[in-house]
Amino acid sequence: MANATTTYFQLKVYHFQTTEQEQVIDRFLENAYLPAMHKLGFKDVGVFKPIDNKDKADKLVYVLSSSSNLEKFASLDVDILKDKQYLASGKEYLDAAHNRAPYSRVETILMKAFEGMPSLSIPKLKADKRERVYELRSYEGPTEKLSANKIAMFNNGEIDIFNKLNFNAVFYGQVIAGSTMPNLIYLTTFENMTARDAHWKAFGPLYKPMAELPQYQNNVSKNVTNLCRPTDYSDI
């Protein structure tokens, strides 16, 4: 019965190098992929990019979708190709030549929502999307048991601290299929960088007593943080 209320998240990660590739990806996502996903019942699809993309050789675009039905992700690659409007609107991307690929690779990460926040939440932000900061954090664990311990930490108090301080979390997900497991990923959102810094400054004192508990030691081996901004066409 527990699975009936569980939400699954898919995070697609496009890796690319050039401005031309980025423009092709953007046109595809805005004009073909998001409309097709909406028709298939994926209500809120988020698209965001690291703020420091311009400084990196391996640039990224994240595409987040969610469903309570895992089978919808399993059949997505077949179902989406039945949409004639998708095929027409996405032609530039879908029919790209082998030597003009719009990306270097595409990575897909599947996650299951934490019990402490079983569904996706749309951030309640008022700032212009170009000012907002979306903080995507990945916490890798040394072992499956220690990663589960970190997830328990979220469910037993850490999410409560985020809620109390209004971190506007979009999701918390346990990675069930991905390249860096065991792992968990979550996304918090802020009006701007100043607000982001202030939130984390307030978080420290409330989190410290919990972080020092003996049962929660050494449960994260690597923290990868990406500060992002949503695209103008993102639903989230």
What digits encode the pLDDT tens for the residues 122-163?
999 999 999 999 999 999 999 999 999 999 999 999 999 999
Model confidence over 14-59: pLDDT tens digits?
999 999 999 999 999 999 999 999 999 999 999 999 999 999 999 9
What letter represents residue 207's amino acid? Answer: Y
Cα angle at 172 between 104 and 217, to 5 degrees?
105
pLDDT at 6 over 60: yes
Query: Mind listing the pLDDT tens digit for each residue in 155-208?
Result: 999 999 999 999 999 999 999 999 999 999 999 999 999 999 999 999 999 999
Q: What is the pLDDT of residue 21?
A: 98
Q: Which helix (H) or strand (E) holds 137?
A: strand 133-140
- What does the DSSP 8-state code read for residue 4? G
Q: In the predicted model, is pLDDT for residue 2 greater than 70? A: no
Supply the pTM of this predicted model. Answer: 0.95
Q: Which residues pair with 228 in a beta bridge?
A: 50, 134
pLDDT of 101 > 90? The answer is: yes
Average pLDDT, integer, range 55-82? 97
What is the pLDDT, as a whole number, of residue 5?
A: 79
pLDDT tier at 215 (50, 70, 90 boundaries)?
A: very high
pLDDT at 3: 45
Cβ 206 vs Cβ 142: under 8 Å: no
